[in-house]
């Protein structure tokens, strides 16, 4: 299993547009990626689950995937979370 950590850079947290952009990017990888905040886990490709995770600006989240070929995909998602998506 591959894991990566990322810090939420969006000023409004992983809400609304940022959540939608992130979930779409996760869905486009065609991989089963989990995003977790503390003990809460969510399907990264589901905007609904990502929103209900309630990750705020500055929160550290973990991305994980069972597929060993997912390194590049996770790295690009980490990069996405490190940008202020609400401003884009």
Partner 1 sequence: MPDPTDLTVDPHRVLTGIGVCAGTASAPIVLVSPAPGVDEDEPPCTDPAADGQRVRDAMKAVADDLTARAEATDGTTRQILETTAQLATDRAIAKAVDKQLKKGSGITRAVHDATATYAEMLAQLGGYMAERVTDLMDIRDRVICELRGVPAPGVPRLEQPTIVVARDLAPAETATLDPELVAGIVTEQGGPTSHTAILAAQLGIPAVVRVNGALELTADDRLAIDGGAGRVIVSPTDDEVAELAERARRREAALADSHGSGRTADGHAVPLLANIGTADDARRAATQDVEGSGLFRTEFLFLDRDQAPTLEEQTETYTTVLEAFGERKVVVRTLDAGADKPLVFADQGEDENPALGVRGLRLSRAREDLLDTQLEALAAAHRATGGDLHVMAPMVATVEEARWFAEKVRATGLPHVGIMIEVPAAAINARHLLAEVDFASIGTNDLSQYTYAADRMQGELADLLSPWQPALLAMVQAACIGGAETDSAIGVCGEAGGDPLVALVLVGLGVSTLSMAPGKVTAVRAALARHDLATCQEMARRAVAAPTAEAARQAVIDLAHPEVLDLL
Residues annotated as part of the active site: 15
Q: How far is the CB of 70 from partner 1 (least distance, A)?
A: 17
- Count Cβ atoms below 10 Å from residue 61 Cβ, excluding itself: 22
Judged by CB under 8 A, which of 3, 7, 38, 54 binds partner 1?
54
First and final C-alpha spacing in the chain? 32
Spatial CB neighbours of 18, under 8 Å, sequence gap ≥ 6 = 10, 12, 85, 86
Select the span of 1-9, 37-45, 59-67, 68-76 touching partner 1 (CB under 8 A): 37-45
Tell me the three state secondary structure of residue 3: strand
Distance of closest approach, residue 24 Cβ to partner 1, in angstroms: 7
Q: Which residues bind partner 1 (CB under 8 A)?
A: 11-13, 15-17, 20, 23-24, 27, 42-43, 45-49, 51-52, 54, 56-57
């Amino acid at each position: 299993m591959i894991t990566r950590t990322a810090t939420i850079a969006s000023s409004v947290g992983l809400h609304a547009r940022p959540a939608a952009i992130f979930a779409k990017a996760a869905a486009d990888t065609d991989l089963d990626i989990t995003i977790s905040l503390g003990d809460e886990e969510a399907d990264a490709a589901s905007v609904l689950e990502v929103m209900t995770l309630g990750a705020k600006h500055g929160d550290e989240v973990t991305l994980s995937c069972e597929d060993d070929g997912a390194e590049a995909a996770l790295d690009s998602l980490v990069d996405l979370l490190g940008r202020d998506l609400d401003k884009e």
